[in-house]
Amino acid sequence: MGELIEMLTHIAYQTTKLGIVGCSLMSRWKIKSRIGKTDLLSSLPVKYFDDPEVAKTWLVSELE
């Protein structure tokens, strides 16, 4: 989990949205908690998906 947050921190300046596919509820909670503690990532829109196609559609849509 720490490696994911570290990687996201390094690319945060290039990222406008983050879609995560296939996480358990416990993993979602842990990711959300760690992202919230990171200043660079706390304002990033994050959504969790079960279907990769729905995630891709959301990622390429305009920011709302």
Nearest CA among 56, 43, 49 for reference residue 21: 49
Q: DSSP letter at 45?
A: -
**Average pLDDT for residues 28-50, to the nearest whole number?**
88
**Average pLDDT for residues 35-52, to the nearest whole number?**
87
Residues in CB range of 51: below 8 A, 6 or more apart: 21
Q: Is residue 34's pLDDT more than 70?
A: yes
Q: Which residue has the tokens 């998906």?
A: 49
Q: Is residue 56's pLDDT more than 70?
A: yes
Give the domain CATH number at 20: 3.40.970
Q: What is the pLDDT of residue 64?
A: 58
- The number of folded domains in the chain is 1
Range of the domain at 44: 2-60
Q: What is the pLDDT of residue 50?
A: 96
Residues in CB range of 47: below 8 A, 6 or more apart: 17, 18, 19, 20, 55, 58
**Average pLDDT for residues 39-43, to the nearest whole number?**
80
Nearest CA among 1, 24, 15, 62 for reference residue 43: 15
Q: Is residue 31's pLDDT more than 80?
A: yes
